Structure 1
Amino acid sequence: MSKGTFISLDEHCTGFIQQQIMHGRYGSTSDVVRAGLHLLEKQQQQWQALSRALEEGERSGVAQGFDLEEFLQTQRQNHAG
């Protein structure tokens, strides 16, 4: 169900929206705003997932039995052209 909402946009945003519509990427201002909100929502979800992963990593403590030089050598070998 759609709900009308009034928003104020500066000239830059208005111009960008009109450009997207003019180039046929979107059919209306609402389409552009919905696409932008979808991307913002997706970005927020990614940040939340990253934040949870960082917290989990911090709680797990210091890595044991990790040899940085061995790891780097393996990476160099795997990516050597």
Structure 2
Amino acid sequence: MSMHRKTITLTEQQDCWVKSQIESGQFGNDSEYIRYLIRRDQQAQERIAVLRKALAEGESSGKPKALDVSAIKATGRQRMKAAD
């Protein structure tokens, strides 16, 4: 994987935060921490995309049906008994 150098500008508060994360021992340098943040953001964006897709599928799946809470509870109880 090739690496690309980027220049970023941080506020003093942000710079102090990054330094504190490095001093805590979790990260070796600024770059490791920034890459960690980018990976977390990518994962969050992927989760949001999956959720949006599920919502769209739900909306296009037809008319909603009445919710039977008693049946849901009964199914849950059966699953709990089966797991024991």
Normalising TM by the smaller chain, what interval?
A: 0.7 to 0.9
Aligned amino acid, residue 31 of structure 1: E
Aligned residues: 79
Give 1:2's aligned residue: 3
Secondary structure at the aligned position of 2:22 is classed as helix
Q: Identity rate of aligned residues, in percent?
A: 28
With normalisation by structure 1, the TM-score equals 0.80
1:23-62 equivalences under 5 Å are: 23-62=24-63
With normalisation by structure 2, the TM-score equals 0.78
Aligned amino acid, residue 41 of structure 1: Q
Unaligned runs of 5+ in 2: none
The RMSD of aligned alpha carbons is 2.2
